[in-house]
Each structure stands twice: as structure tokens, then as C-alpha cells.
């Protein structure tokens, strides 16, 4: 059984650029969530994908967008990067269901630095 994998692990961009982060979910998990974790803070929910559709979104602007593919892998795209977008971006997969009993399994994260 493979865990959640993310790429790239580190990247540096400049303001105004665009970035794409990728995530492969844990085997058997068809729900993927993305979180932004700024230094010294807890993860903040960006959005969740289930069956290739967005299934919930946090308080992030539209320049944060995503996709989920038929194999359950996912992408997070951020346009018009701002300095405050510098953070650790975490992908988490889980089993489907709304009971809340399905825990999140996190990938190692992608650390984005915006200069």
C-alpha cells in the first residue's frame, strides 16, 4: 500500500508567477483535500475533491484552483502568486463519507517560497 505522495517537495517562485502542485492519494482513498500551512500556524483548508468534483472550499480566493483525475490524483494550481502564498502545502487523502470518522492521511508536503 502506498501512502500520499506530493511533488515537488520544494520550489521557489516570484510574485505574479503561477504554480502547480501534484498529489497522489493513498491506495483506496478517493477523496483528496488540500491545506495551506504558514509557518507557526495550523493547516488551513483550501478545498476538497471527491469523484473529480470540488466538494467543499475554504476561505481562499479563486486564484487557488484544483483538479482531481480519474485515478484520484490531484493538482493544486495557484495563479498570480503573492508573497503571503509562501507556505507548506499539504495534500491529504481519505476514504469517502461524511461521517467525519474518516481520518486524513497527509503527504510530506510541498514547500513554496514566493520571492
24 binds other proteins (CB under 8 A): no
Q: How far is the CB of 13 from other proteins (least distance, A)?
A: 20
> Near other proteins by CB under 8 A, which window of 16-24, 64-72, 79-87, 94-102?
94-102
| Binder of other proteins out of 13, 58, 60, 95 (CB under 8 A) | 58
> Near other proteins by CB under 8 A, which window of 20-28, 63-71, 76-84, 97-105?
97-105
CB 46 within 8 A of CB 65: no
Q: Which is nearer to other proteins, 61 or 97 (CB)?
A: 97
Interface residue list for other proteins (CB under 8 A): 33, 35, 40-45, 48, 56, 58, 90, 98-101, 103-109
Amino acid at each position: 500500500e502506498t501512502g500520499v505522495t506530493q511533488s515537488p517537495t520544494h520550489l521557489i517562485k516570484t510574485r505574479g508567477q503561477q504554480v502547480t502542485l501534484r498529489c497522489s492519494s493513498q491506495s483506496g482513498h478517493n477523496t483528496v483535500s488540500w491545506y495551506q500551512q504558514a509557518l507557526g500556524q495550523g493547516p488551513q483548508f483550501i478545498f476538497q475533491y471527491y469523484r473529480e468534483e470540488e466538494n467543499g472550499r475554504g476561505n481562499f480566493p479563486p486564484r487557488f484552483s484544483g483538479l482531481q483525475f480519474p485515478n484520484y490524483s490531484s493538482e493544486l494550481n495557484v495563479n498570480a502568486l503573492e508573497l503571503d502564498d509562501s507556505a507548506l502545502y499539504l495534500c491529504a487523502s481519505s476514504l469517502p463519507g461524511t461521517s467525519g470518522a474518516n481520518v486524513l492521511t497527509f503527504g510530506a508536503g510541498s514547500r513554496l517560497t514566493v520571492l
